Structure 1
């Protein structure tokens, strides 16, 4: 398969307008939401997540939807189970719209069914981070105020000590949960419970999900997402695929019998939205991998003839280096999210798998994962770009510190205006107010610019800038330079306190080959970077750098560890 020619900005814009002109599924209208005027919002977002997906459940009824080992559920079977769970919540537990119900388990088919069922009941889904420890789990549940928890054995054991104190009902899923009041299987297989959607009115502007941010910079924020915001996000991703398919019909952007490997944790929006919900919307099969292993992933891709892969950059890199290329023949796209992909990995993948699409996206929990997208030759030609804004309801621009929108090409804080934006932070009015500029522009905290072609470039996080003697240094810029050194596979750049300059540049690197010549690495950086940007403190990690649950390198942990040990290479 040969990759198609890049899609120009003009061609892309014309394709967007042509599809909008047809109206139908992708019809839009001006909309005012919580006092903010939007030029475009999908008409379908005037309904609830439940009502929109009910139509899709009928359309794709006979297709395989959830595959786990030898277990297979069609869309109709999964939807029926979800509706039984929804009716159990409403009739047996008295759950009302706005009540919160938590999911705390690893990736299992039950996770997806519970998610759809909670939304159908009009309740608020609370996806709990399954990597959290006992106290973090307890705090997350307490803050949410959820009284019902769908959990597996490990999370059930962690919650058990506070079950009575918090008045919890445990629904044990998949495994034997000692403290379970009822099993998920008992509920969803009970033929006496209705398998049709509950007759509950759901306001499209009401909350459908409370999701916690990754919390790598402190206490996780609870982000409240609405039915309208969710639908605008998922519909936008579907719209993007349809535009691309029309512009390049020779490439299978929307393949026959589509399927995706589930590798990302479902408790984050990258997976819950662009994997679970988008798949339900488009009739795509979800295939679960119990634990990440690139060789096993390749075998499963071959067995199930999976067409799409989405993971964090390290997973895509693992596939490139360790999976049998013959196992990946069915893949049409290898996509990444959750973190920026190192430029060196793109070239390696393009050489290993010519003709396969590479894509990446930029979005946040607060935007329902919606933001930008980049793919195909555009990605190779602009590896440092975050991509074009996902059309048609979202705008992205750079702003100054005082809230003034900047001209194209000017650097500032990246802000997003979209009916897909979140409603509020949980019990934090001050943080919610501070998160927006006038006119509904969400402040991402990322620094960058939008060029004349409408392509977004992220330079750094505002709080991750190193300020060395008054000079601002982009961590991302230095990291990309270090990653261009042959022996460096991972790099993390951060500020090191310094009496003279306030901050100087520090870096920790890791090599899969086992060692890095730090003196040569610094000399390499000195050839490419201004002197003030070159790392003065270097550490070589004996193992792959620690990462948070979204796959991003855990910079806070690395700072803490390196502060305890002298640098392996130092220059003053």
Structure 2
């Protein structure tokens, strides 16, 4: 039975989206499929930026260490970047421009500028190795990359890479040594106005974001302007509905919301529900270069942060921090999570420890982050659920192998349909065909069920993916790196439960007869090919060949069951 909160929220959404309102919803056609769309969505993200940056211009937007910049200042820099890319490098509509850096104010201005120009923003994972960055740059067909110092050094090791490199937060000498041009020099040499403004529409491409797949190489999910707009507007509608409920409850709200930005902007959570919504509502972003729980507590107190979102690991580290009570966290209104499941027991512990209300969301790169959400008392009542489909755009169905809907309580593949879904995978029509149905459903690869109230419960994954602290890791990629060692005969990689990270990578390895390899030596070998977060944290080197199925394939199910149990037994 729906709770009073569910009913009140649904009523606010219905009021917000009725005909004649800014968020009015109608039936529309998206890539041949009928589904709800926002009737008054802007023509493109350019108009979205013009509208909201203009409305928030005088407000403080970013805080990074001792630097403070307004919405107007960031937007002016973004438009200048757009002009410089056009004048200095001939970047045009549809060209791919990559961003390879950790969280900085320049990440935001680069992203906004690339999109404003009409080019396609390609946010690259800042934790990738040189080889992974090479794949992303070459596969995407990137025309130019904007990078910070650490990423610039990695990119410069790519042989034969000829695309221009723009450097950020890097000394002139290091930029020169690595064949890059400082961002400030590019801006100084270029006029502030574009010489030609390319017309943009909702069907034009806007972002290309890489997501790890079960088959190794990441897939590039391509969103259109319409997809990104509908994702952002869906979050906005939900936020406005919650704001209306808060006002009716008499909750005193701050003049400006303040978010501790601790998730990577190159992730979908960082770029859509964090960045794009902050631009729309005038929310200040207190930027953390990298996660540190002590620094997070200090910044929450100093900047009077009202909102925190991260992978469940982060809120757990705040919860367990020995000095937590020494910091004033009373301004926090919400502690949200996404990217990985949050253990049910943590939900009540967070509620008891903080005045803020816990929440969790479920979305994917392919859905522009929108999917489902569970909030407040509903989350306490159903802590194992990721919530109901996000209104007003999202439909969630549990499908069997034939694509038919499963009844409540029955397990199947979780599928999501909305106008926010990306249009497909870059240069991968087969993967697009397998994951996106003609009637608009995206097949997530997650196994779950819906209860009678429409709450989603994720119970397993169809694809061989390990989610460590919000990062997707393809088991096959790690196995391939292990098999590259000359002493390895067989290997199987599985996800192991972990209270802090959600899952960690485990590997079971059988060596060739007569070979001997120490675990430390194997781990050192893997650092040459794998990013740090993909390297197994537990390795079992066994004396017998790995168990096989009748088909001759390694029996991963039995291995996963056995070594998860062994891992938990040893960890207890």
Q: Shift of the alpha carbon at 1:196? A: 7.6
Residue pair 1:45, 1:204 contacting (<8 A) in 2 also: no
1 CA distance for matches of 2:221 and 2:459? 25
Match of 1:13 among 10, 15, 18: 10
Moved more, 40-49 or 116-125: 40-49
Q: Shift of the alpha carbon at 1:129? A: 0.8
Residue 399 of structure 2 corresponds to 399
Residue 222 of structure 2 corresponds to 224
Residue 488 of structure 1 corresponds to none
Moved more, 326-335 or 277-286: 326-335
C-alpha spacing 1:181/1:252, structure 2 compared with 1 (3 Å)? farther
Unmatched segments (≥5 aa) in structure 2: 476-491, 501-531, 545-562
Matches within 5 A, 1:379-528: 379-463=379-463, 508=496
1 CA distance for matches of 2:75 and 2:7? 41
Residue 349 of structure 1 corresponds to 350
Q: Shift of the alpha carbon at 1:275? A: 1.1
2 CA distance for matches of 1:277 and 1:197? 26
2 CA distance for matches of 1:216 and 1:264? 23
2 CA distance for matches of 1:315 and 1:565? 38
Match of 2:72 among 70, 73, 76: 76
Q: Shift of the alpha carbon at 1:457? A: 1.1
Residue 36 of structure 1 corresponds to 33
Q: Shift of the alpha carbon at 1:197? A: 10
2 CA distance for matches of 1:364 and 1:565? 40
2 CA distance for matches of 1:404 and 1:511? 35
C-alpha spacing 1:423/1:505, structure 2 compared with 1 (3 Å)? closer
Residue pair 1:83, 1:198 contacting (<8 A) in 2 also: no
1 CA distance for matches of 2:18 and 2:195? 33
1 CA distance for matches of 2:537 and 2:291? 27
Match of 1:561 among 536, 539, 545: 539
Cα deviation per residue 1:508-542 (whole Å; 9 max; x = unaligned)? 56689xxxxxxxxxxxxxxxxxxxxxxxxxxxxxx
Moved more, 304-313 or 408-417: 408-417
C-alpha spacing 1:180/1:66, structure 2 compared with 1 (3 Å)? farther
RMSD: 3.3
Question: What is the TM-score when the length of structure 2 is the normalising length?
Answer: 0.80
Cα deviation per residue 1:331-371 (whole Å; 9 max; x = unaligned)? 11111111111112112111111x41111100000000000
Match of 1:131 among 124, 127, 133: 127
Any idea what SS the aligned residue of 2:459 has? strand
1 CA distance for matches of 2:217 and 2:105? 29
2 CA distance for matches of 1:378 and 1:211? 32
Residue 334 of structure 1 corresponds to 335
Q: Shift of the alpha carbon at 1:559? A: 9.0
Residue pair 2:32, 2:438 contacting (<8 A) in 1 also: no
Are 2:166 and 1:171 aligned?
Answer: yes
Residue 545 of structure 1 corresponds to none
Q: Shift of the alpha carbon at 1:147? A: 2.1
Residue 234 of structure 2 corresponds to 236
Residue pair 1:120, 1:197 contacting (<8 A) in 2 also: no
Residue 107 of structure 1 corresponds to 103
C-alpha spacing 1:340/1:452, structure 2 compared with 1 (3 Å)? same
Matches within 5 A, 1:82-93: 82-93=78-89
C-alpha spacing 1:12/1:454, structure 2 compared with 1 (3 Å)? farther
Residue pair 2:330, 2:356 contacting (<8 A) in 1 also: no
Cα deviation per residue 1:465-484 (whole Å; 9 max; x = unaligned)? 9xxxxxxxxx99xx9xxxxx
Q: Shift of the alpha carbon at 1:209? A: 0.5
Any idea what SS the aligned residue of 1:327 has? coil
Residue 51 of structure 2 corresponds to 55
Are 2:261 and 1:257 aligned?
Answer: no
Any idea what SS the aligned residue of 2:17 has? helix
C-alpha spacing 1:252/1:152, structure 2 compared with 1 (3 Å)? farther
Residue 318 of structure 1 corresponds to 317
Residue 247 of structure 1 corresponds to 245
Unmatched segments (≥5 aa) in structure 1: 466-474, 480-491, 495-503, 513-552
2 CA distance for matches of 1:253 and 1:197? 47
Residue 305 of structure 2 corresponds to 306
2 CA distance for matches of 1:25 and 1:401? 39
2 CA distance for matches of 1:452 and 1:212? 35
Are 2:201 and 1:194 aligned?
Answer: no
Residue pair 1:83, 1:197 contacting (<8 A) in 2 also: no
Moved more, 25-34 or 52-61: 25-34
Residue pair 1:425, 1:432 contacting (<8 A) in 2 also: yes
C-alpha spacing 1:125/1:197, structure 2 compared with 1 (3 Å)? farther
Residue 161 of structure 1 corresponds to 157
Q: Shift of the alpha carbon at 1:217? A: 5.8
Moved more, 217-226 or 23-32: 23-32
C-alpha spacing 1:124/1:14, structure 2 compared with 1 (3 Å)? same
Any idea what SS the aligned residue of 1:166 has? coil
1 CA distance for matches of 2:178 and 2:286? 29
Residue 521 of structure 1 corresponds to none
Residue 287 of structure 2 corresponds to 288
Q: Shift of the alpha carbon at 1:262? A: 1.1
C-alpha spacing 1:55/1:194, structure 2 compared with 1 (3 Å)? same
Any idea what SS the aligned residue of 1:419 has? coil
Residue pair 2:97, 2:119 contacting (<8 A) in 1 also: yes
Residue 184 of structure 2 corresponds to 185
C-alpha spacing 1:437/1:254, structure 2 compared with 1 (3 Å)? farther
Any idea what SS the aligned residue of 2:48 has? helix
Residue pair 1:6, 1:376 contacting (<8 A) in 2 also: no
Cα deviation per residue 1:535-568 (whole Å; 9 max; x = unaligned)? xxxxxxxxxxxxxxxxxx97x8549823559979
C-alpha spacing 1:89/1:378, structure 2 compared with 1 (3 Å)? same
Q: Shift of the alpha carbon at 1:60? A: 0.4
Q: Shift of the alpha carbon at 1:166? A: 2.9
Q: Shift of the alpha carbon at 1:329? A: 1.6
